[in-house]
Homo-oligomer: A and B are copies of this chain.
Amino acid sequence: MNKEKNFQGYLHDKGLKSTRQRDDIASYFLQQDKHFTVEELYNEIKKSDPQIGYATVYRTLKLLVDAELAVECQFSDGLTRFEPVHKGKHHDHLICLKCGKIIEFENDKIEQLQLEVAREQNFELTNHKCVLYGYCSRCKE
């Protein structure tokens, strides 16, 4: 696995240690293609490691974010969600205010325009978040 190698490399570069818990969490998380709240991920990991601690999940996710293998997403329910970074492509979110459904989308033109805005303001862009709220096809009656 490429990403897992990246994680191992990250740990090594930072003088951090590879542990069973960290590796299990990172391995599971990086293979997924969806959002996780900390609780959701904690519950998944717990299935194969009932001893895992909540704090360890938090800490490992923080490392993954720092390693740029994960990003944080704040929607509007007060929970922080994490999702694995799929190299090269970035996606944004469309959220249904009624059923909570989350749809991901990519739009290169929007990305381009954002770069342009940053350039106008003389900003060096590192990342961005774009969230659209509304009602999905089923919930808008």
Contacts and interface: CB of A to CB of B under 8 A. Distances in A.
Contacts of A132: 114, 117-118, 123, 125, 128
Interface string A88-104: 00000010110000010
Interface string A113-141: 11001101111111111111111110010
A72 interface: yes
A2 interface: no
> In the complex this chain forms, how many copies of it are found?
2
Contact of A131 (B94, B128, B134): B128
Given A118-B134, A123-B136, A128-B133, A107 B96 contact: no
A87 interface: no
Contacts of A110: 110, 113-114, 117
Interface of A: 72, 74, 76, 94, 96-97, 103, 105, 107, 109-110, 113-114, 117-118, 120-137, 140
